[in-house]
Structure 1
Amino acid sequence: MATIDRQTTTLALAHALSAAERGLAVIPLSRTKLPALRSPHRDDPTAAACHGECGRYGHGVYDATTDPARIREMFAAAPWATGYGIACGLPPYHLIGIDLDTKSDTDSSAALRELALRHLFTIPETVVVLTPSGGRHLWLSGPPDVVVPNSASRLAPGIDVRGAGGYLVGPGSRTDHGSYTTAPGTGRLPPAPCPPSLLRLLLGPPRTPRRPAPRADSAHGQGLIHFVLSAHPGQRNTRLFWAACRAYESGLGPALAAALIDAAVHTGLTVQEAQATVASAARMTRRAE
């Protein structure tokens, strides 16, 4: 049994490295489809807000990376991993996953086709991943300045959405219920751009912002700067974007932007890349208001 497990982990690592070559940030998953590495803070509730600043693994999608060395390290730390997750919402594709479930009483594929007819969009040719239960995952690419939230059956019964902060089980993964595979002819396609009409449905109705008051002290800002400074290759742009979004949401964006850019440049990004990422976070935050 141990030999089979090692072979399965080796295959999962190979698939994960292949996905990373395409620009998809990954983490190892267990047979239950959950992150294979447990939180290093599970016995310390006061550290629940850590998103990888501690430098250890076990922070779910916040560990996601395209760096081969980091991916190998994570799989070495989780020899029980049998699959990998692909983080959604990150550059370069800003991946959106449309999960068509087969467990509900409603035909989710028919529901999606009905939405397409009603809202005048075409479901594009794109990557399709077949799940062990008979469901399908459609991969779509989103705009860089839009954050699509995760949702379950909000779009229609049986249709779940994986967006920012979520992940999709990657093809080649094995779980307790079977393997995930790409549908014939779709494996090498790039994720197709999400149709604008569908994107509006994914974003949902505008919400009244509940912006917290800016912190009187600088602890929050220093934490965000440290989060950027602790980025490893393959995480730098992702961490900068996340930190800049949190800064603008808390009202500290204008005051903290220069320091975040300096921190990103210190990790290896160019000034132009860092400025563009912070500007994208500012636009996204304004759009969410």
Structure 2
Amino acid sequence: MATIDRQSATLALAHALSAAERGLPVIPLSRSKLPALPSPHRNGTHPVLCRGECGLPGHGVHDATTDPATVRALFAAAPWATGYGIACGRAPHHLIGIDLDTKPPGTDATAALQLLALRHLFTIPETVVVITPSGGHHIWLAGPPDAVVPNSASRLAPGIDIRGAGGYLVGPGSLSGRGVYRLAPGTAHLGPAPCPRTLLDLLTPPPRPHHSHHSHRPVDHHGQGLVRFVLAAHEGQRNTRLFWAACRAYENGIGEQLTSALASAAVRTGLTPHEAHATIASAARMSAAR
């Protein structure tokens, strides 16, 4: 088993270096598809608003780099890594990922995207497509430098998740607990195609109006909706849904009160307590930075 793990780590590093050469910032991932390096602030009692300013690795997508020496150093610090993540929203490609999932049963994200395309008159261009171990697809698109595409889960349609600024895509060649991520036939020679303007408008909704804390809905009512949103997550959505819900909780001033309930809901969907609390802490840091 140790030999197989070393082979997987070696392949993951090779794929990551190849992606970095093409201008795609990368980080090492574990089999769980989460960043392989733990946070250097994980033992603190309060969330630390650090996105790598401390100079230490372990800040998730904020560690992503195209520098080959730094990529090698990150993987050397995480010899258990079997995959790599590609940071979205970063120059030069400003990558946008459209994640077409296959769960829960009955979900047809591909058909939902086709319906959106017909309704809003856009066409998905020929571009990089990655096939996930569960049979889903990651469509890679390039965004303009002045557009900030947020991450979202099933906002456009059920089963369509968006990876934007602050998110990452599992790179082709990565090995997860479910299998290997592979490039779709005929797309290996392609780069991320520009995102159609109409689709980009759908992915960048106007900013929500600011409300004072006095105008928020009651904590119990609002918080229970976020908890139910997390509980409804299926495999492939769990971390993204938890992060989205935690961000909304902190934006509405109820993050600390809702941490325990959100973490418990995430654990019920299959995340470990450590993964759940790490994701909530990341949401707290991002919300504070904003």
* Structure 1 partner of 2:26: 26
Aligned residue for 1:217? Answer: none
Percent of pairs with identical residues: 74
Pair 1:210–1:6, CA change in 2 (3 A):
farther
Shift of 1:53: 1.1
Over residues 204-254 of structure 1, what are the superposed CA-to-partner deviations in whole Å (9 max), with x where a residue is unaligned? 24422579xxxxxxxxxxxxxxxxxxxxxxxxxxxxxxxxxxxxxxxxxxx
- Alignment pair present for 1:154 and 2:151: no
Deviation at 1:141, TM superposition (A): 0.4
Query: Which whole-Å deviations, capped at 9, do the CAs of 1:154-175 have from their partners, x for residues lacking one?
Result: 0100000000000000000001
Instruction: Provide the rounded CA distance (Å) in 1 between the counterparts of 2:39 and 2:208.
Output: 32
TM-score, normalised to structure 2, is 0.71
SS in 2 for 1:139: strand
Q: CA deviation at 1:106?
A: 2.2
Q: Which has the larger radius of gyration?
A: 1
CA–CA distance in structure 1, aligned partners of residues 124 and 4 of structure 2: 39
**CA offsets, 1:56-106, max 9 Å, x none?**
110001100000000000100100000000000000010000000001322
2:153 aligned partner, one-letter code: A
Distance in 2 (alpha carbons) for counterparts of 1:56 and 1:206: 33
C-alpha separation between the residues in 2 aligned to 1:125 and 1:98? 14
What's 1:186 paired with?
A: 187
Q: Quick one: which amino acid aligns to residue 112 of structure 1?
A: L
Where do 1:1-289 residues align within 5 Å? 1-46=1-46, 48-104=48-104, 105-209=106-210
The CA distance in 2 between the partners of 1:89 and 1:18, in whole Å, is 19
CA distance in structure 2 between the aligned counterparts of 1:208 and 1:155, rounded to whole angstroms = 20
Amino acid at match of 1:162: R
Instruction: State how many pairs are aligned.
Output: 212
Give, in angstroms, the shift of residue 20 of structure 1. 0.1
Question: In the alignment, which residue of structure 1 is the partner of 2:262?
Answer: none
Could you tell me how far apart the structure 2 residues matched to 1:65 and 1:83 are? 15
What per-residue deviation string (whole Å, max 9, x for no partner) do you get for residues 172-224 of structure 1?
0001100000001111211011101101111124422579xxxxxxxxxxxxx
Q: For 1:156, what is the secondary structure of its paired residue?
A: coil
Task: Compare 145-154 and 202-211 and name the one that shifted more.
Answer: 202-211
- Unaligned residue ranges in structure 2 (runs of 5+): 213-290
| TM-score, normalised via structure 1 length | 0.71
In the TM superposition, residue 142 of structure 1 has moved relative to its aligned partner by 0.4
1:41 alignment partner, SS class: coil
Q: Which deviates more, 70-79 or 46-55?
A: 46-55
